[in-house]
């Protein structure tokens, strides 16, 4: 009989932890060196006993709260598809009637029109303005059905994120996915239960034996109200690194979503700004006479800030939220843009705080 019963319990815990460890969550196939100084709770950095206890606690939480359960903004097809937008996919002439006289032309560029009636292969795009239908893309081809979530209790203590790519998770941080592992689909919301750093890149535990690389998710990060924004005011925190927007009233977060901000050559201005002009719909265009020319009629739910041409607005021409892709504006899904537009009607000069929570860098694992 063992003289010290606690030793038996300790040995048993160690044995359980060693066998329980899913697929041997150690560095044999991790594909990189784990930084234990930054990952004191990662499996490689814990004793088997502590690791087993930690992971059992996390597994229990996963069973209770496997994914975020925040109420998502409802998507209204009458709002999304109220305008029949079509892209002009190649340079084409404009006629005053079907087979009529040429009265203008659409040049090369990123150009959309509001399509009217169709007659014998011709589409009306304005008063006395018709183009051949073969020059136009499908109606509302890229309108996004994505929408953000309300935060009735504010931001939770457990971090959460949206998946940006269809992703097969890995069983250990830094490892290749196992063939046949089911994908987690783009725009799926996930909780982040643990973080490990492999070769300077973060990996997130989002489910049992499910680790995903940081570049495959957009993580919502809390932030303090910056100096210059008065207590009780409505404001937006726009994280250009994660490509997220969080709406705050005072110090409480009330809404979070994905955005698409300016490309590197058209960067979105950082700092604390105020909204100074609002339009339920307005035209946007730029770079006239250049190959980069763009023309977007009836852009929905526009709020200009910083006394500039940059704005928060809905985008009907892409579904690329979570990535940089604009000419400087902050693109949102139409559903999200409508919500923030209406939410700020009582404070039309709401603040917009734009910042980077990290630094873009090349070399992420594939």
Query: How far apart are alpha carbons 43 and 222 in whole angstroms?
Result: 26
Q: Tell me the CA distances in angstroms from 115 to 100, 122, 123, 132, 333, one per residue in order.
A: 18, 10, 7, 11, 21
* Concatenated DSSP letters of 194-245: EEEEETTEEEEEEETTEEEEGGGEEEE---PPPTTSPTT-EEEEEETTTTEE
pLDDT confidence band for 110 (50 / 70 / 90): very high
Buried b (16+ CB within 10 A) or exposed e, 129-155: bbbeeebbeeebeebbebbbbebeeeb
Q: What is the mean pLDDT of residues 300-323?
A: 96
Confidence bin at 51 (pLDDT 50/70/90): low
- What is the arithmetic mean of pLDDT over 154-165? 97
329 catalytic per annotation: yes
* Between 78 and 363, residue with greater pLDDT: 78
pLDDT given for residue 306 in this prediction: 86
Tell me the mean pLDDT in the region 329-351.
99
pLDDT at residue number 338: 99
d(CA 257, CA 335): 11
End-to-end CA distance of the chain: 54
Is 356 catalytic? The answer is no
pLDDT of 31 over the 50 cut: no
> Pick the catalytic residue: 45, 273, 329, 356?
329
Check whether 37 has a pLDDT greater than 80. Answer: no
Q: What is the mean pLDDT of residues 287-301?
A: 93
Question: How open is the CA angle 280-319-321, to the nearest 5 degrees?
Answer: 85
pLDDT at residue 57, as a whole number: 84
Query: Average pLDDT in the 295-321 region?
Result: 96
Entry field: residues in the chain: 366
Q: Which pLDDT value is given to residue 58? A: 86
Q: Cα separation of 17 and 54, whole Å? A: 10
Query: Cα–Cα distance between 353 and 333 in angstroms, integer?
Result: 19
From the candidates 45, 95, 313, 356, give the one annotated as an active-site residue: 313
> Would the pLDDT of 290 be above 90?
no
Sequence-separated (6 or more) residues with CB below 8 Å from residue 319: 142, 143, 144, 146
pLDDT exceeds cutoff 90 at 41:
no
How much is the pLDDT for 45? 63
pLDDT reported for residue 308: 82
pLDDT for residue 9 = 35
- The Cα–Cα gap between 283 and 141 comes to 19
Structure-token pair, residue 38: 């930054």
pLDDT tens column, 163-208: 999 999 999 999 999 889 999 999 999 999 999 999 999 999 999 9
Q: 314 forms bridges with which residues in the sheet?
A: 332
**Residue 38: per-residue pLDDT:** 55
355 has pLDDT over 90: yes
* 107: pLDDT strictly greater than 80: yes
């Amino acid at each position: 009989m063992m003289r010290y019963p606690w030793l038996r319990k300790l040995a048993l815990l160690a044995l359980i932890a060693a066998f329980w460890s899913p697929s041997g969550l150690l560095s044999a196939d991790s594909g990189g060196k784990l930084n234990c100084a930054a990952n004191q709770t990662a499996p490689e950095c814990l004793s088997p006993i502590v690791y087993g206890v930690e992971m059992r606690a996390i597994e229990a939480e996963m069973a209770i709260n496997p994914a975020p359960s925040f109420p998502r903004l409802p998507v209204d097809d009458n709002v999304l598809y109220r305008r029949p937008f079509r892209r002009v996919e190649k340079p084409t002439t404009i006629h005053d009637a079907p087979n009529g006289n040429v009265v203008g032309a659409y040049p090369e560029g990123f150009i959309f029109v509001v399509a009217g009636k169709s007659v014998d292969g011709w589409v009306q795009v304005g008063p006395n303005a018709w183009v051949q239908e073969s020059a136009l893309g499908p109606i509302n081809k890229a309108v996004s059905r994505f929408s953000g979530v309300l935060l009735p209790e504010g931001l939770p203590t457990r971090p959460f994120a949206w998946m940006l790519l269809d992703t097969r998770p890995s069983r250990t941080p830094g490892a290749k996915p196992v063939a046949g592992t089911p994908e987690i689909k783009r725009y799926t919301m996930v909780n982040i239960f643990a973080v490990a750093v492999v070769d300077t890149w973060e990996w997130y535990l989002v489910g049992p034996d499910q680790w995903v690389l940081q570049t495959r998710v957009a993580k919502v990060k809390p932030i303090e109200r910056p100096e210059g924004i008065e207590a009780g005011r409505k404001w937006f925190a726009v994280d250009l690194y994660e490509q997220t927007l969080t709406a705050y009233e005072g110090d409480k977060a009330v809404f979070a979503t994905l955005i698409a901000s300016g490309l590197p050559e058209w960067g979105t201005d950082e700092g604390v700004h105020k909204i100074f002009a609002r339009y339920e719909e307005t035209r946007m265009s730029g770079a006239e006479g250049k190959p980069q020319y763009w023309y977007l009629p009836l852009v929905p739910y526009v709020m200009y800030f910083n006394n500039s041409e940059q704005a928060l607005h809905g985008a009907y021409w892409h579904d690329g939220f979570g990535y940089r892709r604009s000419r400087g504006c902050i693109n949102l899904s139409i559903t999200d843009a409508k919500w923030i537009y209406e939410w700020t009607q009582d404070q039309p000069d709401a603040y917009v705080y734009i910042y980077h929570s990290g630094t873009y860098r090349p070399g992420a694992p594939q």
